[in-house]
Chains A and B, each alone.
Chain A
Amino acid sequence: MKRFIGFIKKEFYHIFRDKRSLFILFGMPIAQILLFGFAITNEINNVDIAILDHSKDATTNEITNKIAASKYFSIKKIVTSEADITSVFKKGHVKAVLNFEKDFSKNLIKEHKATIQIITDATDPNTANTISNYVNAILQQYQKEQNKEIKIAYQIVPETRMVYNPELKSVYMFVPGVMTIILMLVSAMMTSISITREKELGTMEILLVSPLKPFQVIIGKVFPYIFLSIINAIVIVLLSIFIFKMPVQGSLFLLGLESVLFIISALALGILISTISETQQTAMMISLMGLMLPVILLSGFIFPISSMPVPLQLISNIIPAKWFIIIIKGIMLKGVGIQFIWKETLILVGMTVFCIALSVKKYKIRLE
């Protein structure tokens, strides 16, 4: 036990004396969560638009005011001719232009029909789509208000309800994903690097020629990272609760346990990587290419798994992160208990046991 404590003490010295690993451990999680939370988002807020109003009557004024009053748009420019539209787009001042036809009110009353053209800058297709949807929604709303007294023969009224994330905040989607990435990064990459560093610097040779048993060396190496990863997980959850006002519907205790399970599975992967790589560089490359990319691309964090081609869907099953994201989304957003996520939990446990068994088998008690 004394040996073990001595070993762990040494590991902490390594971590706290290396500025780079300190940064990866603590700077990265906070930077990532803030970046994903604030900067990278699918929502639109205060998008600059321009108005081209050919009629300038009561109705167009009313609609323009309605749009300006919404928090989604702010009217940056009033243009006067079709030719100006191209020029404002080219300058990049606005993302969309609303073009009211001539005699808007008159047409509306006389012909019960008037047109408004929504021109969007589709260099960013997602935003363009969202903008046109939002404008449409505002127009529909306006129409409804105007037609209150008039009876229409029949009407289908879609009542959409977005559950679990009614405000469609993208940060709710990113927090589980970023938490997964960070735990993976800290646990798998940092352990694999720290074990291969001993190989590279030759200290592994001395550790081998000592009474320390292989499992003592491995547990000693990963233990500090379990501890630091748990701290990271706590920091991320606190940030998301207090800065992004993200609710945690389910049990915090269960969330903690599942996170520890995922941390251990990531550590097992890290150990596995360290048994097959000889240098820190290789370990880092394998961790980044073999773990980070799949976690970002195939775990369902950014791209929905259901819309992937079948082969990729199959591959996504062997990525622990996929299951962990399902689990924490369930706990944080839906508030489910273990009875709904036992299958995913069991899969994670299985993967962890498999990786640990494999790395114990692959761990070399000699140099070759």
Chain B
Amino acid sequence: MSITVSNISKSYKNVKALQNISFEVKPGELFGLIGPDGAGKTTLFRVLTTLLVANEGSATVAGFDVVEEYKNIRNSVGYMPGKFSLYQDLTVEENLNFFATIFGTTIEENYDLIKDIYVQIEPFKDRRAGKLSGGMKQKLALCCALIHKPKVLFLDEPTTGVDPVSRKEFWEMLKRLQQKDITILVSTPYMDEAALCDRIALIQDGKILEIDTPKAIVKHYPKQIYNVRATNMYQLIYSLKKYEHNHSVYPFGEVVHYTDSRTDFNPKDLKLYLESNDLNNVEIEKTVATIEDTFMELAK
């Protein structure tokens, strides 16, 4: 196993950041930690990258214990913190050179590993890191975390604050890195990115809700979901929430995801109810659950 986590708990003063967390990540796997802000993702990363010591439980990374053998781990992992943590007053190239040097390697030595990413920022290699755009910064940070060919790569919310196109590119890169036998643990608050992982763990309030492949997790969703549409979105949500048989009502882009608490639910009843509430152009259709729906259901 590349990463094993067993019964890890960690508290800060009064806050229980992690409660009894256990999971395993296989070598070469792209494992996602999915959860909202404050779920404990960063704390978990810090425990695994030996920056924090857990109150209870144990964990290993690349076969080394996170407390006893922390020095070995620091030699063999790449870590990209959630906050942009490169030297803003150094240029792109100087940053990369610096991180290569402190890991005892050179850019040339592992160039093939970062080539795909680096070519995109190479035109700006004389620009100071602080003057790069959000997506560029993240690509540079990824290069810096990769330059010493780590066995395990920790990426804490690498795409937060990055535009959709760059996000897509970033995930394509992760997929390619996976081919090079690097185990990747990535966290994200974006549910759409979850589907790109091999396996995901849904995490909230320091607890793991579920661990499985994205497809399996969606299948676990217990109810039929309906897309509900109407001209007045606000009125629609309000009316649905007031409806006595509703099980869940979540706005989802231009539609509302609705589930009913009855087993013999007939959409026509709902349509009549909504039209009686002065809503026009009401449309109701079946849809499949997404990871977000699953998360909301589990987090209830």
Judged by a CB distance under 8 angstroms, whether B83 is at the interface is: yes
**Chain A, range 1-37, C-beta contacts under 8 Å to B:** 2-3, 5-7, 9-10, 13-14, 17-18
> Closest Cβ of chain A: how far from B232's Cβ, in Å?
45
Interface centre among B51, B81, B88, B144 (most CB of A within 10 A): B51
Q: Which B residues are in CB contact (< 8 Å) with A205?
A: 51, 79, 81, 85
A206 touches B104 (CB 8 A): no
Do A17 and B52 contact each other (CB < 8 Å), given the known contacts A205-B79, A209-B74, A211-B102?
A: no
Is A39 close to B, CB under 8 A?
A: no
What's the Cα separation between A206 and B49 when bound, in Å? Answer: 10
Tell me whether B89 and A366 are in contact (CB under 8 A): no
Whether, in the assembled complex, A149 has its beta carbon less than 8 Å from a beta carbon of chain B, the answer is: no
Closest residue of A by beta carbon distance from B85: A202
Asked if A10 and B86 make an inter-chain contact with CB atoms under 8 angstroms apart, the answer reads no
Closest residue of A by beta carbon distance from B101: A6
* Cα distance, A211 to B103, chains bound together (Å): 6
Given contacts A13-B90, A366-B52, A368-B52, are A210 and B85 in contact (CB under 8 A)?
no
> How many of B's residues come within 8 Å of A, CB to CB?
30
The reply on A114 being an interface residue by CB < 8 A is no
Q: Which chain B residues lie closer than 8 Å to A17 at the CB level?
A: 89
Complex interface: chain A residues within 8 A of B83 (CB): 202
The 8 Å CB contact of A209, one of B49, B86, B88, B101, is B49
Across-interface contacts of B103 in A (CB, < 8 A): 210-211
- Chain B minimum-CB-distance residue to A206: B85
**Bound CA span A7–B104, Å:** 12
Q: Which residues of B contact A202 (CB under 8 A)?
A: 81, 83-85
Q: Is the CB of B79 within 8 A of A366?
A: no
A208-B51, A209-B77 known; A203 and B102 CB under 8 Å?
Answer: no
Question: Which residues B101-115 have CB closer than 8 A to chain A?
Answer: 101-104
Which of A6, A201, A367 is in CB contact (< 8 Å) with B102? A6
Chain B residues with CB under 8 Å of A2's CB are 101, 104
A212 at the binding interface (Cβ < 8 Å): yes
Question: Would you call B46 and A203 a contact (CB within 8 A)?
Answer: no
Q: How far, in whole Å, are A202 and B89 apart by their CA atoms in the complex? A: 14
CB contacts under 8 Å to B, within A202-240, are 202-203, 205-212
Closest to B80 in A: A206
Contact with A along B75-103 (1 / 0, CB 8 A): 10101010111111110001001110111
Distance to closest chain A CB from B52 (angstroms): 6
Q: Which residues of B contact A14 (CB under 8 A)?
A: 87, 89-90
Bound together, the chains give a CA A59 to CA B241 distance in angstroms of 111
Residues of chain B from 42 to 94 with CB closer than 8 A to chain A in the complex: 46, 49-53, 70-71, 74-75, 77, 79, 81, 83-90, 94
Asked if A209 contacts B104 (CB within 8 A), the reply is no
**Distance of A247 from chain B, by nearest CB (Å):** 43
Pick the contact of A10: B75, B90, B144 (CB < 8 A). B90
Q: Is the CB of B97 within 8 A of A367?
A: no
The answer to whether A209 and B102 touch across the interface, beta carbons within 8 angstroms, is: no
Query: Chain A residue with minimal CB distance to B73?
Result: A209
| Neighbouring B residues of A13 by C-beta, 8 Å | 87, 89-90, 94
Residue of B nearest to A207 (CB): B102
Bound complex: CA A368 to CA B71 (Å): 17
What distance in Å separates the Cβ of B92 from its nearest Cβ neighbour in chain A?
13
**Could you tell me the distance in whole angstroms from the C-beta of B97 to the nearest C-beta in chain A?**
7
Q: Closest Cβ of chain A: how far from B226's Cβ, in Å?
A: 45
With a CB–CB cut-off of 8 A, which chain A residues contact B52? 366-368
A280 smallest CB distance to B (angstroms): 14
In the assembled complex, the Cα of A86 lies from the Cα of B75 at a distance in Å of 81
Question: Does the CB pair B50–A366 fall under 8 Å?
Answer: yes
Give the residues from 135 to 182 in chain A that come closer than 8 angstroms, CB to CB, to chain B. Answer: none
Q: List 9 A-B contacts (CB under 8 A).
A: A7-B98, A17-B89, A201-B85, A202-B81, A202-B85, A205-B81, A206-B99, A209-B79, A367-B51
Chain A residues with CB under 8 Å of chain B are 2-3, 5-7, 9-10, 13-14, 17-18, 201-203, 205-212, 365-368
Q: A13-B90, A14-B89, A208-B50 are in contact. List 10 more A-B contacts (CB 8 A).
A: A13-B94, A14-B90, A202-B85, A206-B144, A208-B74, A209-B49, A209-B50, A211-B75, A211-B102, A212-B102
